[in-house]
Chain A
Amino acid sequence: MNKNYQQIRAAQQKLLKDKQSNEISVLKKAFTRCSQWDDKDEFLDVIYWSRQIIGIVAGIIWGLIPLKGFFGIILFVAVNAGIIYFYFMNFQKIDEEEYGGSWELTKEGFMSSFAGFLVMWIIIYTGVHHT
C-alpha cells in the first residue's frame, strides 16, 4: 500500500518538474510566429491564460474611460474574440480543425474571462467615478 503511494508521488513529482521546465518553452512558443504545437493542451492553455489577461486589462481600461452600458459588454466580447481569433488564425496559423473548429477555440476560457472583466470593470468604475 505504502509502496504504491510512493510510486504515485514519484509520478506526480516527475509530472510537476516536467511541467515547470515546460512552461518556459511554452511561453517562448506563444510569442513565436507559426510555432509547432505538438500538445494541443499547451496551446489551449495559452489561449486560456491570454483570455484572462485580456479580460482583466480590458476591465481596467473600460472602467477608467469609463465605457458604459451594453455597448461596453458587446465591445469586450468583440475585442476578446477578435484578438484570440487573430492570434490563432494569423499569428500562429494553426489548423483549427485539429481543435474541433474555431468555435471551440473561441469559447475556451471565455466565461471566466468575462467574469474577470466584469469584476474589474465594476471595481474600477465604482472606485474612480463614484467615490
Chain B
Amino acid sequence: MWADTILIVVISVCTALLGEGLIWLLVYRTEKYQKLKIEVEKGSKKLERRREGMSDSLDKQQKKKIEREEERLKNNNRDMSFVKMKSMLAIGFVFTALLGMFNSIFDGRVVAFLPFQPISLVQNLTHRNLPGEDYTECSFIFLYILSTMSIRQNIQKLLGFAPSRVVAKQGGGLFGPNVTGQQFK
C-alpha cells in the first residue's frame, strides 16, 4: 500500500510539472503574454505606490489619474486572462481525462490510512468508491487533491509562474476579485 501512496504523490508532481510545462509552452513564453505581464506588474506597483502616498484631501486631478490608471490596469488584466483562457481550457480537458484514468486505475483501492477521522463533509472525498465503514481509509482522489494543492503552488512559485502579490492584490484578472471593487471612492 505504501507504494501506492508514494506513487500518487509522484503522479501529482508529474502532472503539476506537465501542466506548468504545457502552460509555459502555450502561454507564458508568448511575446504577447510576457509584454502584458510586465505591463500589469509595473501598473500594479505604480498604483499601489500612488495609493500609499495619497493624502486624505485629494484634488480632482489626482483622483482622475488614479482612476485612469485603474482602468488601464483592468484592461491589461482582462487581456491577460483572455490570452490564458483558451489554453487553460484545453489543458483543463486533458487533466480531467487524466484524472479519470487514474481514478479508474485506483478505483476501490485503499491507498493510505488517515491518522484522523475526517468530518462527514469530506468523507465523500476521502472514502470515495471504497467499501466498508472504516473512514480512516483513504481513497486516491483525496490524496491526489491534497498533494496537488501543495505541490502545484510551490512549483509555480519556484518557477516564477505565480502571479506576484501586488498583481493578485489588485485583482488577478477575469476570475479574480475585480479591480473596480477596490476603486477609489
Contacts and interface: CB of A to CB of B under 8 A. Distances in A.
Interface of A: 1, 4-5, 8, 11-12, 19, 40-41, 44, 48, 52, 55, 62-63, 66-70, 72-73, 111-113, 115-116, 118-119, 121-123, 125-127, 129-131
A72 B115 contact: yes
Given A41-B165, A118-B146, A123-B6, A8 B116 contact: no
A121 B165 CA distance: 29
B75 interface: no
A110 B157 CA distance: 14
A119 B143 contact: yes
Contacts of A130: 1-2, 113
B79 to A, nearest CB: 16
A131 B1 contact: yes
Interface of B: 1-2, 5-6, 9, 31, 34-35, 38, 112-117, 138, 143, 146-147, 149-151, 153-154, 157, 160, 164-166
Given A12-B34, A112-B150, A119 B115 contact: no
B10 to A, nearest CB: 11
A52 B1 CA distance: 26
Give chain B's interface secondary structure class. Answer: helix
Contacts of A72: 115-116
A125 B115 contact: yes
28 contacts: A1-B31, A8-B34, A11-B38, A19-B160, A40-B165, A41-B165, A41-B166, A48-B157, A62-B115, A68-B115, A69-B115, A111-B149, A112-B150, A113-B150, A115-B146, A118-B146, A119-B9, A119-B143, A121-B115, A122-B114, A122-B115, A122-B143, A125-B115, A126-B1, A126-B5, A126-B113, A127-B5, A130-B1
Nearest to B152: A112
10 closest Cβ pairs, A-B complex: A116-B150, A115-B150, A115-B149, A126-B112, A112-B153, A125-B115, A127-B2, A112-B150, A130-B113, A68-B115
